[in-house]
Amino acid sequence: MKLEIKKYLYDIKESVDSIYEYLGDKRDFFEYQQNKLLRRGIERELEIIGEAINRILKLDSTIQIDNARAIVDTRNWVIHGYDKVDDVVIWGIISNHLPKLKIEIEKLLEE
């Protein structure tokens, strides 16, 4: 695997870990919804994740990351549709998809 791809995988891992750090152990949706700084921080980390995956796919389209295209599309939605970002959708991504992405990225980094 190219070193550049490993760097992007590491960036993704750092962003995922940052999201978990921002949320803490409590992970309360209503606290998330009430805290603009927290929401914006998580949205920024999702942007980084999407951009890193986009760059990985341009370098090697055979890299196996489930839902890679959807992750890139989410990045575009957060950036370009900032006024339409739905807290419930973002929370669903955090709760349902981020744990799996974390495992996938860690496995790829071990290769």
Residue range 70-102, pLDDT digits in tens: 999 999 999 998 788 999 999 999 999 999 999
- Intervals of the chain under pLDDT 70: none
Report the C-alpha gap between 108 and 111 in whole angstroms.
5
**Count of domains for the chain:** 1
Report the pLDDT value the prediction gives residue 100, as an integer from 0 to 100: 97
Length of the chain in residues, anyone? 111
Burial class (CB in 10 A: 0-12, 13-18, 19+), 103: exposed
Active site residues: 75, 80
Report the pLDDT value the prediction gives residue 13, as an integer from 0 to 100: 98
Report the C-alpha gap between 15 and 102 in whole angstroms.
10
49 neighbors 12 (Cβ within 8 angstroms): yes
